[in-house]
Structure 1
Amino acid sequence: MQTVSEVMTRDVKNISPEETVRRAAQMMDELNVGSLPVCDGPKLVGMITDRDITIRSTAKGQAPETTRVGDVMSPQVRTCYESQSVDEVLREMGDSQIRRVPVVDQASHSLVGIVSLGDFAVRHAGTTDEALEEISAPSEGSRAKLN
């Protein structure tokens, strides 16, 4: 059984909830990523995505220089542990339609890494097809297709 610790990315950059949305966007650009874990010290308190910035901040006319990450981040974050099996986490990702999951220490809930669908595709001996299909399926909240 392969575990998350064998495929996850360690030394993940994170951002404080007190930082500005502009800084979050700059970090995403520098790191070529679409999301950042939000940590208060070592403890994971949320995630901020490029979509959070667009929908929760920019679309509402908030100033990126003064809007704080903590005001637009997603505080409820699915996490996993290093010791969990890859198959279990892949199933959960498919069920929740998410492409990346922060990996936290079981005791302290501090961030120790992140695992993405790409990590599984590159480093996992099994298949990611089923998870990819579930993650990519339109969610109930998706907008209706235009005719």
Structure 2
Amino acid sequence: MRVADAMTRDVRLASPDQSIIEAAQMMADGDCGALPVGENDRLVGMVTDRDIVVRGLAQGKADCKIRDVMSQDIKYCYEDDDIDDVAQNMGDLQIRRLPVLSKDKRLIGIVSLGDITQTTDTEIAGDALSSISEKSTQHTSTGARPH
């Protein structure tokens, strides 16, 4: 099965110049824990609810911009990647969601562990969750393919 068969296509895109409060409101409205961040028609980062709390609020930066807390080391997958391979990669990198890009590197969706669980072998999704849940030596809010 391909990522395109499991991903969520209706994804809200945040701007790096928006406040973290706006990002939190977008997450609440969309019932999601992460937002891709775009600028000039390109994906420039990812911001998670954890980024907002750990890199923003916990450090007294309640009025900062998304760019101040987002992960800029973007990891992603392509829509035609094999979903089992992506699930394995997510587990190895201990992440729960990835932006999905077209071949011309345009954002077209996001795939989460929940999406994978609903559309593929539950053993593969379970293995990925087990790996994601292991204690990590560093905070990684995104990750998959270093491009």
Partners of 1:44 and 1:23 in 2: CA distance: 18
Please give the alpha-carbon distance, in whole angstroms, between the structure 1 residues aligned to 2:137 and 2:68.
Answer: 26
Q: Number of paired residues?
A: 138
Give, in whole Å, the separation in 2 of the partners of 1:72 and 1:21.
8
Q: Distance in 1 between matches of 2:8 and 2:136?
A: 27
Partner of 2:59: 60
Query: Quick one: distance in 2 between partners of 1:60 and 1:71?
Result: 11
Kindly tell me: are residues 72 and 130 of structure 1, through their superposed partners in 2, closer, same or farther at Cα, counting changes over 3 Å? same
Code of the residue aligned with 1:72 in structure 2: it is V
Aligned equivalent of 1:116, options 112, 118, 130: 112
**Unpaired runs of 5+ in structure 1?**
143-147
**Deviations 1:5-64, CA, capped at 9 Å, x for gaps:** 111110211101111111001111111211111111431111111111112111221232
**Superposed counterparts of 1:1-20, under 5 Å:** 2-20=1-19
1:99–1:38: structure 2 CA closer, same or farther, 3 Å change rule?
same
Alignment pair present for 1:88 and 2:85: yes
The CA RMSD over aligned residues, in Å, is 1.5
Aligned with 2:52: secondary structure? Answer: helix
- Which residue of the partner structure matches residue 97 of structure 1? 94
Matches within 5 A, 1:3-82: 3-64=2-63, 67-82=64-79
TM-score when normalising by structure 2 = 0.87
The reply on whether 1:137 has 2:134 as its aligned counterpart is: yes
User: 1:125: how far off?
Assistant: 4.4
Q: 1:111 to 1:59 in 2, by over 3 A?
A: same
TM-score, normalised relative to structure 1: 0.87
Q: Which runs of 4+ in 1 moved over 2 A?
A: none
Percent of aligned pairs with the same amino acid: 44
Whichever residue aligns with residue 10 of structure 1, its letter is R
**Structure 2 gaps, min length 5:** 140-147
